[in-house]
Amino acid sequence: MKDDLAKLLDFIDGAGLSRRSFLTRSAAFGATAVVGTALTTGRASAEEPKKGGVLKIGLGGGEATDTLDPGLADSQVPFALNRNWGDTIVRVTPDGQIEPRLAESFSSNPEGTEWTFTIRQGVKFHDGSDMTVDDVVATFKRHSDENSKSGALGIMKGISDISADGQNVVMKLETGNADLPYLLADYHLVIQPKGGVDNPAAGIGTGAYKVVSAEAGVRYVLEKNADDWDTTRGHYDGVEILVINDSTARNSALQAGQVHMINRVDPKVAQLLSKTPGVVVTNISGPGHYVFIMHCDTAPFDNNDLRLALKYSINRQEMVDKILSGYGGVGNDIPINASYPLFDATLEQRPYDLAKAAEHYKASGHDGSPIELLVADGAFPGAVDAATLWQASCEQAGIPLVVKKVPDDGYWSDVWNVKPFCASYWGGRPVQDQMYSTAYLSTAEWNDTRFKDPEFDALLIEARAETDTTKRQELYSKIAHILRDTGGVIVPMFNDYIDGHSETVAGWIEDPTTEMMGGWAAQKTWFA
């Protein structure tokens, strides 16, 4: 039913675009970046927001097992909910900048190994207590505890020391990382009173709305936080989140005016839904992508010619058209696309070339035995269909690809990252380094292609601490070339986020970071 939710963590993790000038300013020269909130309200902000009304949102991706603990948020509903009652210290804006939130400003040393975040004063939690530097430190410590099950544990690992210093939080890193603010914008890292150590699921934060009632997997009711520290957001009197996991029911609810916004519109019906009077369907390309992964250390995939043969034999455009109904873009066998900062747009797109595929297949010396690809419907929406399309084009190139459909049940434990050739997806990460480090570094726990290349590793570590943007971009270009030509990942397509909202909602802006305007829809829109 919703087996893919196990991986939706990644769908939501996708955030962030260009970092641009901020890096050179703050990291290279140690200067403090201060970006006002007014800068980032987006293109629809010419209109003055109106206050009032109760916004109803119908969201897929919620279950009876959800909790309010931000560390355990792993699907769309908890994500959207936590966004509204809590704040992170920084956030990624729609145009890929870092905007200070509960931090007023931040700076780093030139190497990017020590970061100082100045915490905003006079902010109150929903329970009336003051938000202090200690709360921030305690929150980060809770998420970095080795025993914690926080989804942000991986992010926090590289931070060796977190301490309070007056009004500042100081973080020391093991190795320089120019991307730290992007990582700290992670949606798990909601600042809670005393770090949320005693009661992580209390739902008390500094956000625009207060939690009134929470019925996991059913309905959440929020009311306006009258003492909100940020007066430019939270225009509704209240917000109601209804969990509607069935895609058809979600569409009907929007069409019937029962809800004002929905997420995850099925690409197959997006066109149709947009024709309903009073309904607007928006789509935006993000960093999420679908993959076929081969273990580079297992025969026959240990042969790069065979990997190339498979890469040339996949018809990417056909997949975007048929699997995503056009709501997406073609992939280039790297997990990065133009939605990432420092993306090398000159990187040549791998064509669909059956002659080349056949040539590489011949060069690989493969014995002609069936190459078994494991897929499940839960691997990504349309995975089985995509695999079948691929099988057909492989056949034309003489490659004996065989699709084996396996159950969704246990797919992520028994097939993905276990079997040498299967389908999967990634939700993307805010920055290139994080995406590569998560799944392509030799030592990464989720190196699901078993790709181990010392040169790749060295370049990646070098790029992480490199604060010169031009040099960094060159390094990432090299990295992309290596992975594209020798890696074990085949990226046929990047999928769009498709949301729907009623015409009564004003202020909707394009935010490629994640669905529902990056999760900010309830705070940044209003009733027209």
Which spans of this chain sit near other proteins (rule: CB under 8 A)? 1-3, 5-7, 9-10, 58, 63-67, 74, 146-147, 149, 151, 153, 201, 213, 215-219, 242-246, 248-249, 252-253, 255-259, 409-410, 412-414, 416-417, 445-446
CB 268 within 8 A of CB 281: no
| CB under 8 A, 24+ apart: contacts of 27-30 | 27/108, 27/110, 27/112, 27/178, 27/467, 28/110, 28/467, 28/468, 29/110, 30/107, 30/108, 30/109, 30/110
Instruction: Identify which of residues 47 and 215 has a Cβ nearer to other proteins in the complex.
Output: 215
Instruction: Identify which of residues 170 and 249 has a Cβ nearer to other proteins in the complex.
Output: 249
Minimal distance in Å, beta carbon 72 to other proteins?
8
Nearest to 374 by CA among 484, 445, 315, 448: 448
Instruction: Identify which of residues 52 and 410 has a Cβ nearer to other proteins in the complex.
Output: 410
Q: Is the dihedral of CA 108, 109, 110, 111 positive or negative?
A: negative
Instruction: Identify which of residues 133 and 379 has a Cβ nearer to other proteins in the complex.
Output: 379
CA distance 231 to 241: 22
Minimal distance in Å, beta carbon 7 to other proteins?
5
Minimal distance in Å, beta carbon 511 to other proteins?
24
> How many other C-beta atoms are found inside a 10 Å radius of the C-beta of residue 252?
16
Instruction: Identify which of residues 151 and 335 has a Cβ nearer to other proteins in the complex.
Output: 151
Minimal distance in Å, beta carbon 264 to other proteins?
14
Instruction: Identify which of residues 257 and 365 has a Cβ nearer to other proteins in the complex.
Output: 257
Measured torsion, CA atoms of residues 287, 292, 298, 302, in degrees rounded to the nearest 10 = -80
Instruction: Identify which of residues 152 and 373 has a Cβ nearer to other proteins in the complex.
Output: 152
Minimal distance in Å, beta carbon 58 to other proteins?
7
Minimal distance in Å, beta carbon 129 to other proteins?
24
Q: Which residues pair with 164 in a beta bridge?
A: 169
Minimal distance in Å, beta carbon 416 to other proteins?
7
Place of tokens 């301490």: 163
Instruction: Identify which of residues 445 and 455 has a Cβ nearer to other proteins in the complex.
Output: 445
Nearest to 294 by CA among 285, 305, 278, 281: 305
Q: Is the peptide bond before 49 cis (omega within 30 degrees of 0)?
A: no
Minimal distance in Å, beta carbon 257 to other proteins?
7
Minimal distance in Å, beta carbon 503 to other proteins?
16
CB 170 within 8 A of CB 109: no
**CA-based diameter of the chain, in Å?**
71
Tokens for 442? Answer: 């030799």
Q: What is the 3-state secondary structure (H, E, C) of 156-198?
A: HCCEEEEEEECCEEEEEECCCCCCHHHHHCCCCCCCCHHHHCC
CB 191 within 8 A of CB 123: no
Instruction: Identify which of residues 61 and 100 has a Cβ nearer to other proteins in the complex.
Output: 61
For 36, counting Cβ atoms within 10 Å of its Cβ (0-12 exposed, 13-18 middle, 19+ buried), the class is: exposed
Instruction: Identify which of residues 21 and 248 has a Cβ nearer to other proteins in the complex.
Output: 248
Instruction: Identify which of residues 208 and 259 has a Cβ nearer to other proteins in the complex.
Output: 259
Minimal distance in Å, beta carbon 328 to other proteins?
21
Contacts of 418 (CB under 8 A, 6+ apart): none
Residues in the chain: 528
Place of tokens 């046929």: 492
Minimal distance in Å, beta carbon 292 to other proteins?
16
Instruction: Identify which of residues 4 and 333 has a Cβ nearer to other proteins in the complex.
Output: 4
Residue 288: left if φ>0, alpha if ψ -120 to 50, beta else—which one? beta
Minimal distance in Å, beta carbon 122 to other proteins?
34
